Amino acid sequence: MNELLLKYGCNPNQVPSKIYMKNGNDLPIKVLNGRPGYINFLDAFNSYQLVKELKEATGLPAAASFKHVSPAGAAVYKELSETMKKIYFVEDLELSPIASAYARARGADRMSSYGDFIALSETCDVQTANLIAREVSDGIIAPSYTDEALEVLKTKRKGNYTVIQIDENYIPDEIEHKDCYGITFEQGRNNLKIDKSMLKDIVTKNKDIPESAKIDLLISLITLKYTQSNSVCYAKDGQAIGIGAGQQSRVHCTRLAGNKADNWYMRQHPKVLSLPFRDDIRRPDRDNTIDVYISDFSEDVLNDGEWQNYFTVKPEPLTLQEKKEWLKTLTDVALGSDAFFPFGDNIHRASKTGVKYVAQPGGSIRDDNVIETCDKYNMAMAFTKNRLFHH
């Protein structure tokens, strides 16, 4: 089968719609369940490329959580601490390596991952399927599924959950095309291989980038390769913790992603971990409530009694000083950028989120200013000399 009819395109008025192979070959995918749409497939194909490259670069199982053709999170396997299990709501689950990778990918930004499309580099096993079954998600793509996992996934969304299997040996054509306004664009596929050799040109006084930080920088850069530009990505301990996508100003990307990374770390604050949620509050509502609690939960809310809608007892709000003191303990964060930083303001903002390692293409007329700013904060920065725009 070399074509598949879709219900409609990006929007219901955009018909007809289909995916097909121009070269006449069979499609490299099988739809095992559900009826994926146009946006589902864009998310599926972009996210699968991301996890496949993460696996190749690190040798570890990888997972991604996609929304609107950009990742909300991406991660490789690493055993979860008790704190991570708690903030990702998986304390009660048995987790395989690929399930752990997905828990970490979704946990980077749980609010943005609501209704995500999932990509796995490995076979989807029943542990991963059980995790997915209780989250709000639109679909999944993976190279294979165990029978037990497939049965679990088929129960989601009243039996309509999208499950796509992709041929892991599929090699796309080197030339790709896209139409816009009736005009066809042609370019070579972005097959740039991102590996540790990109991190050799360290231009700062601090030349020390340990192996763990190199992995985080690779995760950041590979994630950016499939993120709508402009984009930056903060990473730590084998996962993205803040992704800023599609902003016209790079410093706005840096701020957006930095705020998400801050939020990820604030979820680990003892006050947040001990919030006395009512048993009937669902995980998505807990996510929203935690976000409000971290950002602007105040005495006014407490005095109005609104807390009773979520908590069994009245919680203490987080003070501004407590937030500042907690964020000071976030360290050794890696930051990647899909194009050069034009000003040192990006580095100033990154320093507030514990960034110590930076990878960016370089090539700005203000490179000296950016390097000087990194030196001010004792950061190690590598020039990759490769831009990663994605549109």
Q: Cα-atom radius of gyration of the chain, to the nearest Å?
A: 21
Contacts of residue 214, Cβ cutoff 8 Å, sequence gap at least 6: 196, 199
The encoded tokens of residue 366 equal 């203000």
Q: Determine whether 67 is an active site residue.
A: yes
Number of H helices, E strands in the chain: 13, 15
Q: Do β-strands 333-337 and 355-360 pair in parallel, antiparallel, or remain unpaired?
A: parallel
Cα distance between residue 152 and residue 133, in whole Å: 7
CA 326, 263, 344 angle in degrees (round to 5)? 85
Catalytic site includes residue 391:
yes
Which residue is catalytic, options 130, 230, 263, 346? Answer: 230
Tell me whether residue 68 is one of the annotated catalytic residues. Answer: yes
Which residue is catalytic, options 55, 67, 156, 225? 67
Distance set, CA 210 to CA 79, 183, 248, 281 (Å): 20, 47, 32, 42
Amino acid letter, residue 375: D
Could you give the residue ranges of the DSSP H alpha helices within 178-330?
211-225, 250-266, 270-273, 283-296, 299-304, 320-327
Closest CA to 71 of 51, 96, 97, 57: 51
Question: Residue ranges of the alpha helices (H) in 59-139?
Answer: 82-87, 97-107, 126-133
Name the residues annotated as catalytic.
Answer: 67-68, 230, 391
